[in-house]
Structure 1
Amino acid sequence: MTPLSATDRTRLGRLPERSSDDRSVLYSILDDGMICHLGVIVDGAPRVLPTGYGRSGDTLYLHGSTGARSLMTAPSQEICVTVTHLDGLVIARSLFHHSINYRSAVIYGTPRLTTGDEKLAGLRAIVDRLAPGQWDVARQPTRKELAATTVLALSLDEASVKTRQGPPGDDEEDYALDVWAGVVPVSQTFGTPSPDPLLHTGVPVPPHIAARGTETAPTS
């Protein structure tokens, strides 16, 4: 597995010890998330949008309507995609040293439009990221639906990760203060599946959906 790139854009200038060139760390951050933020220039102005995504190997897939201007213009320019996990609130003795524990990834590159089998594979990667197992039980997309959907492929060649974990880092003189300090963990959980009111009587919750209700999003 090749290490992450070290370019002017991916090299951390502040707190470089929080970075990693381990590509598996990038994969873990992406695979633990479900929503990314897509940064793109539209009509000369920046636009940052929450977007569903999926990963297959060293490729990130993004999707949306063919009418979305952000996706229409993205293949003609470099874009930036970010994924962030909030893992904890870091409560310090001093206000200055309050922080958060987090894992984040930033990817740069020029995406390309997918077609044919790769477009289907990209959609499957996105569905599997949100609801593993659903691709095999739901109705497959029609030609009309595929024509109305844009799927972009973005290489993970230029990417960086940054994380913070652990307790607060107070100044030495503040450790004598009788002020509570520590970490308040933050996690994402899935609730009990709620059936569609129009669902036919007797259709059970499938195991792969029921399993989601017992999950807690991973933290490091």
Structure 2
Amino acid sequence: MLSTTSRTTLGRGKKRARTSRDDLYAVLDAGLICHLGVVVDGYPMVIPTGYGRIGDTLYLHGSTGAASLRAGGSGGEICVTVTHLDGIVLARSVFNHSVNYRSAMIYGRPRLVEDPEERLAGLRALTEQLAPGQWDAARPPTRKELAATTVLALSLEEASVKIRQGPPVDDEEDYALPVWAGVLPLRTSWGVPEPDPAMTADLAVPEHISSRIVAIQ
């Protein structure tokens, strides 16, 4: 079960809350980018960035010179969110318009990952989240590159999940209005891979990449 702290207990839209940890994993595993919220020099900052999950730990990374990563690694509280927009919900009244979505929010104090093996495992998880199979296909990071990279580990202990699916919900008296109502589904698909013009050899698209392509009808 997910945590029930004051920060993860929903005050509004309680029926959209999910309490299963499996729902949290599903939202995170389906995502590509998260938003990292930190406080830097007294000011809030929200950064879109990649992430990866291993069990109940979320890994984030960035340059050692990044203010957001320095703030996150200094022991302060951070907030990470992942959101999937699944559709626009059009109601008969403007007030009842909504969106179908899946979202996760994680709070906590991340720790700076210093163990070499965990650092590599975290970076692998980040890479595989974006492109499964790419870690083994590409050159691994050098010692110099690793020294220039900060890796943070955030526990998934304090997290909440909120999901809205389905048709619009209108006021009873509005159902008789001659206004179209329904859902405009939103789907994201991969396009055709575009090879780097700087490639020195005529290489075919690797199977781990081509297998993700959805045929364009």
Q: Sort the TM-score into its range (normalised by shorter chain).
A: over 0.9
For 1:198 and 1:72, the matched residues in 2 are separated by 34
Please list, as runs of the form range in 1=range in 2, the aligned pairs for 1:93-172 lying within 5 A after superposition. 93-115=92-114, 116-172=116-172
Equivalent position of 1:85 in the other structure: 84
Match of 1:213, SS state, is: coil
Q: Does 1:10 align with 2:8?
A: yes
- Unpaired runs of 5+ in structure 1? none
Match of 2:43 in 1: 45
Q: Which amino acid aligns with 1:52?
A: G
Instruction: Tell me what 1:26 maps to.
Output: 24
2-structure distance, mates of 1:178, 1:21:
38
CA contact (8 A) 1:55 1:126 kept: yes
Cα distance in 1, alignment partners of residues 137 and 46 from structure 2: 33
C-alpha displacement at 1:122, in angstroms?
0.3
Distance in 2 separating the partners of 1:111 and 1:49: 15
* Corresponding residue pairs, total: 214
Tell me by how many angstroms 1:187 deviates.
Answer: 1.2
Runs of 4+ residues deviating >6 angstroms: none
- Kindly state the Cα deviation for residue 8 of structure 1 after the two structures are TM-superposed: 0.2
- Segments of 5+ residues of structure 2 without an aligned counterpart are none
Paired residue secondary structure (2:175): helix
| Cα deviation, residue 214, structure 1 | 1.8
| Kept in 2: contact 1:30–1:105 (CA 8 A) | yes
- 1:38 maps to a residue whose letter is L
1:207 alignment partner in structure 2: 207
Q: Which residue of 2 aligns with 1:61?
A: 59
Instruction: Normalising by structure 2, report the TM-score.
Output: 0.96
TM-aligned CA deviation for residue 215 of structure 1: 8.0
Question: Cα offset for 1:213?
Answer: 2.0
Alpha-carbon displacement from aligned partner over 1:68-125 (angstroms, at most 9, x marks no partner): 0110111220100000000000000111100000000000000011121000000000
Secondary structure at 2:51 match in 1: strand
